[in-house]
A and B are shown apart, each in its own frame.
Chain A
Amino acid sequence: MLNVGKIEEGFVLDHIKAGKSMDIYEHLQLGKLDCTVAIIKNARSEKMGKKDILKVECDINQLDLDVLAFIDHNITVNVIKDGEIVDKKELVLPKMIKNVIRCRNPRCITSIEQELPHIFVLADEEKEIYRCKYCEEKAGPIF
């Protein structure tokens, strides 16, 4: 088994669906951070069979938890200090997300109006349904 060392300060995103770590890397814009990022794909998991893990050596405040919760609120967020887990952040579905996904309705005003943000609003918390603020089209799958 491949071993990736512990991080001293930062956070670990655990229980990412296998194969989705790069998508999360992109959506969280981790490529823009000037810090160490480890991407572990297809790690063995008792709970999930296979899972991905992201280890990021930077301040947790640089992470947009709303975006992460929208992508998959079942991901575990472990905050690391001095090499130990000091906190687990609970991911709560955000009420609104901005410019994370685009409205796929070709009849939506966002398809032609320049510089209009793509805003999705949580319309049904139980069913986890987001709708475009402007045309109310359901948000498509992020992956």
Chain B
Amino acid sequence: MRHLMSPLDFTPEELETLFTLAKDIEQNPARYAHACDGKVLATCFYEPSTRTRLSFESAMLHLGGKVLGFSDAASSSAAKGESVSDTIRIISCYADICAMRHPKEGAPMVAAEKSGIPVINAGDGGHQHPTQTLTDLLTIYSLKGRLDNLTIGLCGDLKFGRTVHSLIHALVRYPNIRFIFISPEELKVPDYITDMLKEKQIPYEEVIRLENVMPTLDLLYMTRVQKERFFNEEDYVRLKDFYILDRAKMELAKEDMLVLHPLPRVNEISVEVDDDPRAVYFKQAQYGVYVRMALILTLLQIKVD
């Protein structure tokens, strides 16, 4: 039995298979509409996350399966002090597969160790959120047609952004990848990431202003710069506009550059960019459903002819 704890659990070859399946689901949804008839997904969310939970539920419902679960710890037996190990043993009796989000890091791995059913990590604190990374990769794979030979700009909070770190780790496994990190000094990508890139001889640049590098990018992955991350108000006011993507900055970009964002967006992408065909962050949410459908089928070992 297989679980998904980290985006690196799948080899690039296995990811290729997963993404091919996800693309087939996108093109032939009717073929998969009853693939999970009689199967039940448990969504065990110990902390609220509406989009991730609904994305999993949507995925299972589109496969013809059913869904049960809880959406915060207060409405689960955890409020009575039940351990994750005990909860998953019980859930294994009620469902065929489980997506678990937990504020404590490593909780889904504890569940996987005791589980009788496949467990998907749907986010564990600041640690991993593998289905977000799979969503990002599928979006790039589908809309760019490749995961290699890319110059990728990552912009915003690169220090605390869990999605950014996971995406970097996932992309370094493909050839000819170049990163451009665009962030204020306070929110630079951590040393352990740049050390890893140096070790693997993967080229990267660190810059402060987004517009300077826009023309070179194949992809721009935006994240939010939160005011509370700055040491003082003055720096925040001085720098915040560098990290707001607007129409003027988009004019500097290649015609086939893509803009991704893990969402929710606050003000780091101006709404005037939404209509630009290169802005694919809402499509990305749709790919999130396809990749979760493909993942559920893969972990349940269901093949559709």
Residue interface bits A63-82, CB-to-B below 8 A is 1, else 0: 00000000000000000000
Given A113-B84, A113-B85, A114-B83: A107 in contact with B126 (beta carbons within 8 A): yes
Do residues A109 and B126 form an inter-chain contact, with CB atoms below 8 A? no
Residue interface bits B95-139, CB-to-A below 8 A is 1, else 0: 000000011111101100000000000001111000000000000
Which residues of B are found within 8 Å of A134, using beta-carbon distances?
Answer: 105-107, 109-110
Provide 26 A-B residue pairs closer than 8 Å at the C-beta atoms, listed in order of the A residue.
A105-B105, A107-B103, A107-B104, A107-B105, A107-B125, A107-B126, A108-B104, A108-B106, A109-B84, A109-B102, A109-B105, A109-B106, A109-B109, A109-B124, A111-B104, A113-B84, A113-B85, A113-B107, A116-B85, A133-B106, A134-B106, A134-B107, A134-B109, A135-B106, A135-B124, A137-B105
Interface residues of A (CB under 8 A from B): 105, 107-114, 116, 132-137
Do residues B83 and A132 form an inter-chain contact, with CB atoms below 8 A? no
Which residues of A are found within 8 Å of B83, using beta-carbon distances?
Answer: 113-114
Do residues A113 and B127 form an inter-chain contact, with CB atoms below 8 A? no
Residue on A nearest B106 in the bound complex, by CB: A134
Do residues B103 and A113 form an inter-chain contact, with CB atoms below 8 A? no
Which residues of B are found within 8 Å of A133, using beta-carbon distances?
Answer: 106, 109
Residue on B nearest A136 in the bound complex, by CB: B127
Which residues of A are found within 8 Å of B127, using beta-carbon distances?
Answer: 107, 135-136
Q: How far does the alpha carbon of A125 sit from the alpha carbon of B84 in the complex, in Å?
A: 32
Q: How far does the alpha carbon of A20 sit from the alpha carbon of B84 in the complex, in Å?
A: 38
Residue on A nearest B105 in the bound complex, by CB: A135
Q: How far is the CB of B166 from chain A (nearest CB, A)?
A: 12
Q: How far does the alpha carbon of A106 sit from the alpha carbon of B83 in the complex, in Å?
A: 17
Do residues B104 and A132 form an inter-chain contact, with CB atoms below 8 A? no
Which residues of B are found within 8 Å of A111, using beta-carbon distances?
Answer: 104
Which residues of B are found within 8 Å of A109, using beta-carbon distances?
Answer: 84, 102, 104-107, 109-110, 124
Residue on A nearest B126 in the bound complex, by CB: A107
